[in-house]
Chain A
């Protein structure tokens, strides 16, 4: 029961944050000099045409009126329309781009987690041995390398020189085979999706891999020092079992926090990765929206990011209880 109430309370606490996000974005976007209507129809357009567009999108109304109108719309699930995309509903544009970015993020995290957790454990188990040093150097480079540069280097090597991987765009695994170049069956599409995803996932995932590896290592080291590990050893429990059954699970709480926070920051990282690989996802959508002063689209996407962030943090906190049953969500939690 505690968990349901905890979730509800956390969701309620998120409301002011979301209002804040909408307000900050609204003010920022409106501080951008220039006129979105003018941008839309070009600098040479007659003044009455510009006025007509301003009226159509409500840009002629005072700031506070537009703010209130926008907020009332959001409450009712209406994120407005995109001026840059000819009046298309913002929510449609988001839903169109979202699967691409979600796919990119999910595959980056699969890459990050699959590489980081075994390496982190290995590093902790073989502390100060060569494999530990190598893992730590990999992690150091991972957190220090600009992700977009990794992307450029991968393109140079694997697309231009070895010519084995495509350098641009993504293929969605559920796409219709007839729309995908060089694909006739579902299997072809899946294969195309895989090879298109490989480089962008490594590009976006390297930073997260490094961060997760570091926390996994230090968390495992911490747990391996605990008396119950000594006790298990004294009872003659095999080392593999100690790692798997006794140390691993107890070491995952800090790892979970890092994964949760990184997941939400990945939305920002997607901007750069999508630019490098010319992927039409959420990241590029925001940049297009900002560059064209598409107020509603900027606010819609940022708000969407904000909601994802808030929900991500809450899910992370809830996942604590799943990983560590000692965590409870009673009144004093938080």
Chain B
């Protein structure tokens, strides 16, 4: 059974447990959590979704490694075993092609398997350290957008009336301003660095979640168990948090996974335009922007960051599609 379907019996059972206890106290595993175990099993059985999970796992691993080394160890690992991602090396040719290829600057060397950038830094190492930006901002922004959007959408859907009107008009307004333009204006106003990229992208993704959860909540709130909860005096806040949101959440989870991909693309686009991680901190979009000046002599420089973005986003899209299939068998293709 998926988390968003509620057959006739479950709510009654739920109602009984709730009436017996303090209506505001949490109960044992809810319907939603049982559904989760099932969903995970389904995902695991789906070959393409599993591939997506591996990709996400791998990229998360890289990002955690890069974060630990840069934030906690001050690049100790990079300096000991790798090349420093931010410092110009001494004696390395700039714009070297990948190992096995040749260009006007020389032949690729095994020490720099993907080649070097315009300042002689190792591209592979910079890609690895760039992963932390894509992953933190992509996941972080989606997380914030998800929480805010769910709150707004659930409140609007549950109360209806003028609350709904006001909230949804605001959401529509944000939605009507092009995503990238909104984030760029926001970042110009408050700061060009990563934190603001994350907050900006988060705000811009609120409408997606708010509209989705509202459309679900509007139908879920008509269910008998919601009426029952109201009848026994459960507070509105608890009805929204414990009943409405868990029972409306399935499509939101799917959307959130896909949105991480969209947000990673947005963050890359922002960095490409110069809004985001500032040099020398490497990010994929910024590497692509830097490579633009050298596309003729060394096209490889432009190839790698794009592949890194592509692979990461594919990972999230595969898992998102797998989740959709698992949570909503009607949609299965």
List residues of chain A with CB under 8 Å of any chain B CB: 16-17, 20-21, 24-25, 28-29, 31-33, 127, 140-141, 143-149, 152-153, 155-156, 160-161, 217-218, 221, 264-265, 267-269, 271-272, 275, 286-287, 290-291, 298, 301-302, 305-306, 309-310
Contacts and interface: CB of A to CB of B under 8 A. Distances in A.
A160 B188 CA distance: 34
A67 B205 CA distance: 27
B331 interface: yes
Interface of B: 169-170, 172-181, 184-186, 188-190, 261, 265, 268-269, 272-273, 285, 288, 291-292, 295-296, 299, 302-303, 305-306, 309-310, 313-314, 317-318, 331, 333
B295 A17 contact: no
A17 B181 contact: no
A287 B184 contact: yes
Given A31-B190, A152-B292, A268 B314 contact: no
Given A145-B306, A148-B288, A218-B333, A305 B169 contact: no
B176 A271 contact: no
Given A152-B306, A272-B269, A298-B185, A305 B177 contact: yes
A310 B176 contact: yes
Given A146-B310, A268-B179, A140 B317 contact: yes
Contacts, number: 136
Contact of A141 (B181, B295, B310): B310
Nearest to B189: A31
A143 B179 contact: no
A268 B180 CA distance: 6
A291 B184 CA distance: 9
A302 B177 CA distance: 6
B302 A153 contact: yes
Nearest to A275: B273
A28 B310 CA distance: 32
Listed residue (A33, A221, A272) with the most chain B CB atoms within 10 angstroms of its CB: A272
B295 A152 contact: yes
A309 B317 contact: no
A153 B309 CA distance: 14
B52 to A, nearest CB: 10
